[in-house]
Structures are given as C-alpha cells and as structure tokens.
Amino acid sequence: MSEPMNDTRPVEPAPLPPRAFGAGPPSAFAPPTPWRRRIQIFGWMLAVLLALLMILVAWLAITAPLSRSLKPIVPPSISLMSADGHLIARRGAIIDTPVTMTELPPHVPQAFMAIEDRRFPTHWGIDPRGIARAMWHNLWSDGASQGGSTITQQLAKGVFLSSDRTLGRKAREALIALWLEVWLTKDQIMERYLSNVYFGDNVYGLRAAARHYFNRVPARLTVPQAAMLAGLLKAPSRLAPTGNLAGARARAALVTQAMVDAGYLTQAERNRLRPARLDVHDDPDATSGTYFADWVLPIARDRAGAVYGEQRIETTLDWRIQRLAEAAVRRAPLGQAQAALVAMKPDGSVVAMVGGKNYAKSSFNRAVQARRQPGSTFKLFVYLAAFRAGMTPDDMVDDTPFTSGSYRPANHGGKYRGRITLRQAFAASSNVAAVRLTQQVGVDNVIKVARDLGVTAPLTEDLSLALGTSEIPLIELAEAYAAVAAGAYPVVAHGLPPEEEGWFARLMQRQRRFSENQLAMIRDLLSSAANRGTGSAAALRTSTFGKTGTTQDSRDAIFVGYAGGLVTAVWIGNDDNAPLPGGAAGGGVPARIWRNFMSGAINEPVEDAPEETQDADLVNAIANITVETGIGNVGLGVDQDGMTVNLGPNRLRIPSDQPLPGPPANAPPPPIVRTQPSGEDEGP
C-alpha cells in the first residue's frame, strides 16, 4: 500500500468581507474600557458641580450681609401700616445693654447650650450631627418637630436676615454662621446671641428679660431662672410666664433635664431645684398709640419673629373708615359713659376699632378686653336654634307672662302682645318669647349655635341665657353677626392679612355654610328688627340688618348689624357697670352712632332723624299700642294683614279687608288711648 503524497501548494488566505461604502480605515487606538468612561463622566460632573458651587458661594457672598454681621446690631422696631399705606403706630422693643460672658455665672450660658445647641463649643457654626438628628426625629415622630439650627445660625437668622423660610435664606444663614465663626470667638458669639434674642412680652436680650421677669441683673440669675429664660426661646409669646406660667415652668423642667444630660448638672442637683418664681417689673406703658395697634401688635410681632431692624407690616385697618369711627364716637352724647366700636368685613378683616373715648386717658380696649352682657343681641343664637329645630318666622309664640320655678322674666315695661309670630317677637325684642323658644329647643342647642358662630366666652346653662346674661366681648358679637353677613361660620376677626396655609390646614379650618332656608329666615328677622323694630333708628337707605341689646337697669346698650358689606358693633356703658342715665337703650345712642358711622363708611350720607321724632317712628314701626280702659289692659297689634286685639285671655283677629266692628250698645265711654314705643328689652 503506497503512502499519501504531500500537497506542497501554498494555502491562499480567506477573502476579507466587503467594506461598507464610506467607511474609514480601522482605528489605530484601542476603544476605552467601561471604567475609564465612567471616570471621565464623573470628572465632568464634578467640574460642573464645582462651578455651580462657586457660583452659589459668589451669589451668597453678594446677597448675604457678611460685612454687616460684624457691626453693632440695630434694635428691632415694627411699623404698623394701614391697608391704604398710612402709618398707624411704630413700636420699639424693651432692650437693655449687652451682657458679657465674664459677668455671667456658668449655669446661664449652659442652660441655653443644653436646650438649643449642645455642641456649640466645638462646631464651626453648622452642626451636621444636629441636622441629621433633627431630620431623623421629624421623619419618625408623630407630631412635634425639631430644628437643627445652631446658636450661631439662630443669631444669623434673627439679627441679619428676614423671617421667610426659603432655601435661599437658609443658605445665607449657613454662610453667615460660618463667617461669624471665623471672625468672632465663641464667647463673642454667645454674648451677641444672649444680648439680642427675643424673650416674649416685647423684651429683647438677657439683661432686659432678667429685669422684666425676675427684677434682677443677669449675674444673679439662679439655675431655675436661667432655665426658664432658655426655655422661652422655643415659643416666646406663647410661653411667656406672665401669661402662661404653667407652660413656662414645664419647659424650664425640660431645660434642667437637658442640663443633666449634657453634664452641666447632676440628677441630684436637678431634683433639688424649685420652680422659678416671677417678680415682674413692668415699665410704664406709653400713652401714644391706638386701640387697634395694641390689639394687633402681639400677632404682628409673632409673625415677624425675632428679626432686627425696622419692619413695615401691613394691617387690615382702613384709615378713612377708622377716622369715621372715631368721629362718630366723639360726637355722640355719652356724658361720663364710655363707648366701643368694632367694624369688620364679613370675612373678619377688621377695618376700624375704637376701644374708648380717649386712648391717652385709658388704653383699656373695651372692644376686645371688656366682657359685658350682650342683652338681646344674644337672641340671634336663640332664633337660629329655633330655625335649626324646624321653625319659621311665621310660626307663633306666646308673648305672655312666663314663670319657670323661681325664674320670672318680664318684658320691658310689663307690656305683652299675646300670641305673635317669631318675626314680630324678634322685632319687638320680646324677652318672654325668647325664653319660651329656648325652653322649647333646649339650652344646649342655643349654646351650640353660639359656639358654632365663634363665641368662646363661658355661657350660663339656664333659661336666662336667652336674654344675654353671659358676658361676651364685643368683638365676638361682631364675629357672630359677620357670619350671618357672610353666610358661613365661624368668622374670626383678624387685623393682619391671613398667611397662606397648606391644604391640610385649609381643610381643617374651612367654614361651614348656613342652609339657604335658615340664612334667609334669620336675615328676615334681622331686617325686621333694624327697619321696623327696636333698631329702626339705625336704618339706612340700603338694606340694613341688625339687633339691639340693653341689659338690666340699662347698664349696657348695644347695637350690632351690617349693611353695604360692613359689619359693625357699638357698645356704650360705664366702666364701673353703673346704670346709664335716662334708661338708655340699644335702639337709642348706640343705634345712632352705628347709623352715623355706617352712612359714611359705605358712602351713603344721611342725617340723624330729629330726636323728638324717633320715638314716634318706633311706635309706628312696631305698631304696639297700649289701651287703658276700665276693664283692664287691652293690647292692639297692627300689621300689613290686619289687626290683633288681646283682651285678657281672649284674642280677636280682624283682617285688613274687613271693617272694624262697631262698639256694642252697652259699651263704656271711649277709652283714653296712650301711645308709647315698645321699650327696649332688659335682662332678667
């Protein structure tokens, strides 16, 4: 068998695939590996971030008041402005000279560091650990939030920046904090902080606070006193011990426990401490200002925060309307009595406030601070409760003497009208009718209506409640009537424009609306009372709604009503609760003050009705005639549908389209007829 022959011919290489048209020659460089590409991308991103950081730092350096942060601090002041740009009041703060660390006992700064910034001696103005701890707590807590700001940041925020909560402000705050740490020592930062922080009651700085609350210098502050002052910083106005001693002491207890945790006190030392006792030292109040400014200033100061320098805060007050209110009170024939007036829009925006005849002589605000009996203005809640129970203005109620146990309310002057409609009872301000309605619907339901419409004052839980025997601030009465004007409740009086709230807060605080029927019925009654009833002296050409109120022995006289988109309450009385002379009533001077003020406020100039004709107008409006005869007291009631005659227990109804019956053959001689106005209501 022969061997295979070897093939010595050369092997040809395999042919290359065809090259795509336009393709270049193969690259001489190897393609980058994935990790190198990632490094390149990361480098570019880092360069972009560094550039943005440099731009941010440059912007902060320009906008942040770095140079000003090392200069003396300007004391705080607030300028309250009316809605139309007029200066209402400018208020400074209670301040004193700065403190130095050398004069303070160690436990004073330690109390502030323990509760506000435990790592103050070691950080550089920003505390990452504190920020992380606060974020973790806020993420998992079920309510109270914590902040991560250091004492240095608080100094930067309170003294050099506005109180807004934007990201830009927080960034500037951090930059100023770093700047202060570079240029100032820790002692200098603490001195500035303690000398300028807000302690409530319009008091700024530790020296002023020590004098105000404890009447002593900072060097003599005890541990409980220092702890109480340190605790105020969380909420100065809310925790100020002059108004919330229990809250201030509870917060001080947390501070002393924090001092134990920080190592400044032992637990035994802390347990031996007794709560701080106040020794309040008040500087005399200046008599230059306004009642409205006094009312709104604490709210304005809280909203502004502990920000230094001058701040201009816009209020809801209308300068023109305020001047009209002051003039109306000034022109009224008050004698020795005082007066108060508060006017607001139906949304609660207060546009005018007068708390007395002369602020310079008495800064006591009778529109807000005084609690007086509202008299028959309280009947608003009684009749609303009746409408909630299904009654209507045309339903009947007995206007006859009433007795319930030992309680025997009476109408003014002993005048009774028999069986009348709710509309007539409200217009004539019948006391016994209101008590009967309260008994029928229940005292609790009347109180429920009052609470729904914003009354927070304590209310008596008996039938006398119907006649306004519980004391209520005038501003709360105005809020209740504003709810009827707005068609929704509750209405909260406010002197500053409302702050923007989150959706959850708006959901929780949203108003409820009256039913269309109930709103129409109560407005019907208020119109009847203001135009044809006891309040007719207040009636304007435009639609007028309101109610009078007069308390027992004419100690208080009130008119509350609304017209032309403005709600106004007027009160007159004596500070010592003495009776007003001449049996003054809500349908008299208060109604005329209301009319004079409102006519100008809503641009409807009117003149007062002549004094001698007002009683006659009231008689015709209420159509209440008392007939004195030999057979007793005969009551006559006239309305658009006819006449009602009440003779003892008997009642005769004569329609308007029928002639009056003639006298019987054996009738006595014609009686002497005496007409007189339906007197204003009185409390029991």
- In the 3-class helix/strand/coil scheme, how is 492-519 assigned residue by residue? CCECCCCCCCCHHHHHHHCCEECCHHHH
The pLDDT-based confidence of 609 (bands split at 50, 70, 90) is very low
> pLDDT value at position 30?
61
Q: Which residues pair with 396 in a beta bridge?
A: 421
Question: In this structure, are residues 227 and 259 in contact, taking their beta carbons and an 8 Å threshold?
Answer: yes
At 451, list the tokens: 């609470």
Euclidean distance between CA atoms 510 and 125, whole angstroms: 42
Residue 32 has pLDDT above 70, yes or no: no
Report the pLDDT value the prediction gives residue 621, as an integer from 0 to 100.
34
Mean pLDDT along residues 659-667: 44
pLDDT, mean of residues 587-615: 76
- Higher-pLDDT residue of 386, 131: 386
Domain architecture of the chain: domains with CATH: 87-272 (1.10.3810.10), 625-652 (no CATH)
pLDDT confidence of residue 83:
92
**What is the rounded average pLDDT for all residues in the chain?**
80
Residue 95's Cβ-count burial label (10 Å; 0-12, 13-18, 19+) is middle
50 — pLDDT class (breaks 50, 70, 90): confident
* Best-predicted range by mean pLDDT (55-69, 133-147, 518-532, 669-683): 518-532
Residues in the chain: 684
Residue 666 confidence (pLDDT) above 60: no
Alpha carbon separation from 28 to 20, 633, 670 (Å, rounded): 19, 127, 135
Predicted confidence at residue 571, as pLDDT, reads: 98
Is a pLDDT exceeding 60 seen at residue 606?
no
Give the pLDDT of residue 5. 53
Distances (CA, A) of 552 to 468, 547, 684: 10, 17, 6
Whole-number pLDDT of residue 437: 97
Q: Cα torsion for 63, 65, 66, 72, to the nearest 10°?
A: 170
pLDDT of 166 > 70? The answer is: no
Q: What is the per-residue pLDDT across 400-453, written as a single tens digit (0 to 9) for each? A: 999 998 999 999 888 999 999 999 999 999 999 999 999 999 999 999 999 999
The predicted-structure confidence for 500-541, as pLDDT tens digits, reads as follows 655 555 666 678 999 999 999 999 999 999 999 999 999 999
Other residues' Cβ atoms within 10 Å of the Cβ of residue 85: 9
Of the pLDDT bands very low, low, confident and very high (cuts 50, 70, 90), residue 52 is: confident
Q: Express each pLDDT in 360-371 by its tens digit.
A: 899 999 999 999
Q: What is the pLDDT of residues 316-357, one digit of tens each?
A: 999 999 999 999 999 999 999 999 999 999 999 999 999 999
Report the range of poorest mean pLDDT among 449-458, 483-492, 640-649, 675-684.
675-684
The DSSP secondary-structure symbol of 457 reads S
Is the pLDDT score of 70 beyond 90?
no
* Tokens 């050409």, located at residue: 541
Bigger pLDDT: 406 or 672?
Answer: 406
Neighbours of 474 (CB within 10 A): 28
Say what the pLDDT of residue 472 is.
96
Mean pLDDT for 370-375 is 95
The predicted pLDDT at position 92 comes to 75
Mean local confidence (pLDDT), 168-189: 80
Residue 668 pLDDT greater than 90, yes or no: no
DSSP string over 575-610: TT-PPPGGG--TTTHHHHHHHHHHHHHTT----PPP
Q: How many CB atoms lie within 10 A of CB 293?
A: 21
% residues pLDDT > 90 (the chain): 54
Q: Which among 8-12, 72-76, 670-674 has the top mean pLDDT?
A: 72-76
Q: What pLDDT score was predicted for residue 24?
A: 54
- Name the pLDDT band for 93 (thresholds 50, 70, 90): confident
pLDDT in tens, 288-317: 568 999 999 888 877 766 555 567 889 999
What is the pLDDT, as a whole number, of residue 639? 44
Q: Against a cut of 0.85, is the pTM above it?
A: no
Phi then psi for 33, rounded to 5 degrees? -80, 160
Residues 193, 204 contacting (CB under 8 angstroms): no
- In terms of Cα–Cα distance, which of 257, 259, 261 is closest to 110? 259
- In this prediction, residue 174 carries a pLDDT of 79
Spell 152-161 as b/e; 16+ CB within 10 A means b.
bbbbbbbbbb
pLDDT value at position 139?
A: 54
pLDDT tens digits along 465-476: 999 999 999 999
Count H helices, E strands: the chain?
A: 22, 19
pLDDT at position 127: 72
Peptide bond into 65 cis (omega under 30): no
Confidence of residue 175 (pLDDT cuts 50, 70, 90): confident
Question: How do residues 219-272 score in pLDDT, each as one tens digit?
Answer: 999 999 999 999 999 889 899 999 999 999 999 999 999 999 999 999 999 999
Give the model's pLDDT for residue 420.
Answer: 96
Compute the distance between CA of residue 522 and CA of residue 382 in angstroms, rounded to an integer: 11
The pLDDT assigned to 9 comes to 60
The more confident residue out of 55 and 325 is 325
Least confident piece of the model among 97-111, 432-446, 497-511, 541-555: 497-511
Q: Where is average pLDDT lowest: 251-265, 566-580, 656-670?
A: 656-670
Lowest mean pLDDT among 204-208, 256-260, 571-575, 581-585: 581-585
